Amino acid sequence: MSLNKDSILHATNRGLNVFKHFMGSRFNKIGKSFKSPFYQDNQASCYVYLDKKSNIYKFKDFGDAEYSGDCFFFVGKIFGISCEDRSDFIRILEIIDIELGLCLEDQRQKVDHVIRDNKGIVTVASKIPSIHDGFETAKNKLPIQYKEFNETELAFWKQYGIGDEVLKRFNVCSIDTYFGVSKENKEFFLKSTIEQPIFGYQGRRYTKLYRPNSPFRFLYTGEMTENYIFGLEQLPVRGDIIFITGGEKDVLSLVSHGFHAICLNSETAHIPKNLLRGLSYRFKHITILYDSDETGKNSMEKLTKDYKSFHLKSLLLPLPGTKKSKDISDFFKLGHSADDLMMLFLEMLDNLYEETLSVMKSCEIDFDNPPKAPEPVITINDVTIGTPGNLVCVAGAEGSGKTNYLGGLLSGAIKPEDEVIDTLGTYVKQNEFNKAVLLYDTEQSEYQLYKNFSYIIKRATLSNPPSWFKTFGLVGISRNERMNLILESMDRLYYEHGGIHMVVIDGIADLLNGVNDEESSVKLIEELFRMAAIYNTCIICVVHMAPSGMKLRGHLGSEVQRKAAGILLIEKETNVNCSVVKALKVRDGSPLDVPLIQFGWSKTEGRHVFLGEKSKEASESRKLSELTEVAKVIFAKKPNVSPGELVKLVMEEMDVKERMARNYIKFMKDHDIISKSATGNSDYSLPFPPF
């Protein structure tokens, strides 16, 4: 199969899966309205529907018709690419193919893909005659003659940290000669020399000539597009920082030092809103990095003001603004490193987050200065464990042992590398690079949180907490402020400590006005999931269970259950003095097949310890009991259910995939939880008499 419009539509259910992938929880149901993903929308006026005429799914925005179209148009809007240009449309197809993992591109297209992305390096013989189409050239003259970079030219780029690989990746070439025609219709000739080298930034239908040592540094040949954006094709699908800088050399210099960057044709050029919308979806920080002269500073000030809704940031370099010391290329040429630029970026964040950091400082637990002990207060402490880039949930009633279990997990995240400690039967990945480990508590008193903090430090065999382990008590902060404080402090600490190993939010329900507020619940979980992906960390949440014991409570619980990679339930055993950890959801396989972990208090150790796994008989009994409850819920609504419908109902009720749902149905049949209906057809029903 090859990559084209029809193959994409066929592989994505006529485009529906594309909308689901890129909008996530914002789009839940066909025909149900939702707010626009492209701008601040006060009213839900967008729909995804099946266009009967074309038989494909489309996006309709009644608030602004500019954003209505099919899945290709939609993806183009996100990434700032037009569907009208054939080359751009192919790029859109490639993005969908990669993002959704469709693997539709055939071998021929893969070769064309390589040729396109390595223009000037890979040449197809049959296409050589057309390579000069569109140039404004002197009559009967070859417009541009290329050559290999010489040592002097490579040394020019090297002084800015730009190597041969980056030049090739961005299609930068060395030009030997150029024949052109001036505006007065006069022919002219340019020849590259040691003193006057000529370089070219090659686009699809143009080449922008760069003469660094000439009074007239830039010339344009071919068909320059109105919205010239250098470096856009080389950007990754996702990232944290994207710099919009002043020129091509600045882009190349930033990329060579490990950053993502693009530039327009000049610092005074208009930035298309569609471009900013697409970038805001893909990157956390859109940062303007123009020259430190008056033109650059004025342009940055105007852009951040005009595009306030996109939360643009501006970073001013500490350079005098002279001709040879004003841009990011000069910054690196002067001997500054990528770490120096990151330090300036962190200083910028400090200024932006000054109020937040001041508030968070007052919330941080000071291990060396414990608070005075107040009257004892009963609190609920929630801590969870998970995998990088995902959410994991832990649930349990008061007194079930959540505090001790999750405290054990946090101890595993901060312990010394060579220490072996009891993490209560659960593996915790070593935090080998000393990334930030963050605990936010919204429910406990300052003194109780300090006691838990001390317990974690002691279990980890430490005398003092590491500088990268932060515990914050937010009980005194209003609900409306808590989420913003968490997000901004996470962002700052991510850069300060080179990443985030684990985040624990004790009481995510206290970040909302209510667990049944659907819009706020979706927004909260969507933002947490996005942060987990951007920071490549595990964000651990806690939500109470619904009375059925099979689902989490409220709209908030539904969103967590749908997004979380794993859900653990802590229960107190009624007949013995221990707690049990049950898996309610796992990424792969069946949660009912995960062993039941036990932990309890040891008088000898003076703390909670791992007590091993429960017996296979106990696990089988649990499976039988919980699937019996599932059957009761399903058949209470309808006494007879067809096999196909039963699969869907089990998938929905237990939040599992089709293969696992069929395994559960087989278990139900084998253990007489369900049986064939007495109607004589293939339907299922509860046995008679019922259990």
Helices (H) and strands (E) in the chain, counts: 21, 24
Q: Are 490 and 535 in contact (CB under 8 A)?
A: yes
Distance, in Å, from the CA atom of 424 to the CA atom of 405, rounded to the nearest integer, reads: 7
What CA–CA distance (Å, rounded) separates 399 from 376? 15
Question: What pLDDT, in 10s, does the model give residues 486-507?
Answer: 999 999 999 999 998 888 888 8
Note the pLDDT tens digit of each residue in 348-382. 988 888 777 777 776 777 777 776 554 422 222 33
Tell me what pLDDT residue 118 has.
Answer: 44
Average pLDDT over residues 576-605: 78
Kindly state the tokens that stand for 377.
């207060």
Pairing mode of beta strands 239-245, 260-263: parallel
In 233-355, DSSP assigns E strands to 239-245, 260-263, 283-289, 313-314
- How far CA 505 is from CA of 397, 473, 575, in Å, comes to 17, 10, 31
- At the topology level, CATH places domain 369-614 in Rossmann fold (3.40.50)
Q: Does position 339 have pLDDT exceeding 80, yes or no?
A: yes
Distance separating alpha carbons of residues 623 and 619, to the nearest angstrom: 6
Q: 3-state DSSP call for residue 225?
A: coil
* pLDDT given at position 673: 83
Q: What pLDDT does 120 receive?
A: 38
pLDDT at 546: 63
Per-residue confidence band for 547, with pLDDT thresholds at 50, 70 and 90: low
Query: What's 410's DSSP letter?
Result: H
Q: Which of 579, 583, 549 is nearest to 564 (CA)?
A: 583
As annotated, the residues of the chain forming the CATH 3.90.580 domain(s) are 5-117
Own/partner contacts of 264-270, CB < 8 Å, gap of 24 or more, are 264/227, 264/228, 264/229, 264/230, 265/228, 267/291, 267/295, 267/296, 267/299, 268/295, 268/299, 269/228
Confidence (pLDDT) at 374: 41
The answer on pLDDT for 689 being more than 70 is no
Residue bearing tokens 């009891």: 422
User: What's residue 334's pLDDT?
Assistant: 92
Chain-centroid distance, C-alpha 133: 41
Question: In 141-245, where does DSSP find H-type helix?
Answer: 151-158, 164-169
What's the confidence (pLDDT) of residue 589? 62
Higher pLDDT, 116 or 645: 645
Hey, CA dihedral for 643, 645, 651, 657, is it positive or negative?
A: positive
Residue 116 confidence (pLDDT) above 80: no
Given a cut of 60, whether residue 6 has pLDDT beyond it is yes
Average pLDDT over residues 112-131: 39
Nearest to 472 by CA among 435, 437, 440: 440
Q: Domain 620-685: give its CATH architecture.
A: Orthogonal Bundle (1.10)
| pLDDT average, residue stretch 591-595 | 72
Give the model's confidence band at 440: pLDDT under 50 very low, under 70 low, under 90 confident, else very high.
very high
CA distance 448 to 471: 12
pLDDT given for residue 268 in this prediction: 79
CB 71 within 8 A of CB 15: yes
Counting beta carbons within 10 angstroms of the beta carbon of residue 90, is it exposed (0 to 12), middle (13 to 18) or buried (19 or more)? middle
**Local confidence band at 226 (pLDDT 50, 70, 90 cut-offs):** low
Strand order in the sheet with 260-263: 260-263, 239-245, 283-289, 313-314
**Averaging pLDDT over each range in 383-397, 424-438, 477-491, which range is the top one?**
477-491
Q: Give whole-number Cα distances, 626 to 121, 280, 542, 616, 656, in Å.
A: 62, 44, 22, 15, 14
C-alpha–C-alpha distance, residues 645 and 437, integer Å: 45
Label residue 287 exposed, middle or buried (CB < 10 Å: 0-12, 13-18, 19+): buried
For the four alpha carbons of 647, 649, 650 and 652, in that order, the dihedral sign comes to: positive
Predicted local confidence at residue 324, as pLDDT? 83
Give me the amino acid identity at 427: Y
- pLDDT per residue as tens digits for the range 174-193: 999 888 777 677 777 888 99
| Buried-state track 576-587, b at ≥16 Cβ within 10 A, e below 16 | eebbbbbbbbbe
pLDDT tens digit sequence for 269-295: 788 888 888 898 889 999 999 999 998
- Of the ranges 42-46, 125-129, 462-466, 661-665, which is most confident? 462-466
Domain with CATH 1.10.10 in the chain: 620-685
Q: pLDDT grade, residue 549 (50/70/90)? A: low
Predicted pLDDT at 438: 93
Please tell me the distance from the alpha carbon of residue 171 to that of residue 165, in angstroms, as a whole number: 10
Q: Which helix (H) or strand (E) holds 75?
A: helix 71-79
Tens digit of each residue's pLDDT (9 = 90 or more) over 124-159: 322 322 223 333 433 334 578 889 999 999 999 999
Tens of pLDDT along 62-108? 877 788 899 999 998 888 888 887 888 888 998 898 888 888 876 66
Token pair 């089990």: residue: 650
Confidence class for position 221, pLDDT limits 50, 70, 90: confident
pLDDT band at 224 (very low <50, low <70, confident <90, very high): low
pLDDT of residue 585 exceeding 70: yes
The answer, yes or no, to whether the previous bond of 689 is cis (omega within 30 of 0) is yes
What number does CATH give the domain 5-117?
A: 3.90.580
Q: Where do the CATH 3.40.50.300 domains begin and end in the chain?
A: 369-614
**β pairing state of 469-473 and 187-191:** unpaired
Alpha helix positions (H), 170-272: 248-256
**CATH code for the part of the protein at 239-352:** 3.40.1360.10
Mean pLDDT, all residues of the chain: 81
In order, the DSSP letters of 435-454 are -EEEEEESSS-HHHHHHHHH
pLDDT confidence band for 1 (50 / 70 / 90): low
Q: Is the pLDDT of residue 483 over 50?
A: yes
- Residues 589-599 have a mean pLDDT of 75
Distance CA 314, CA 321 (A): 16
pLDDT of amino acid 286: 94
* The pLDDT value given to residue 570: 85
Q: What percent of the chain has pLDDT over 70?
A: 88
pLDDT band at 166 (very low <50, low <70, confident <90, very high): very high
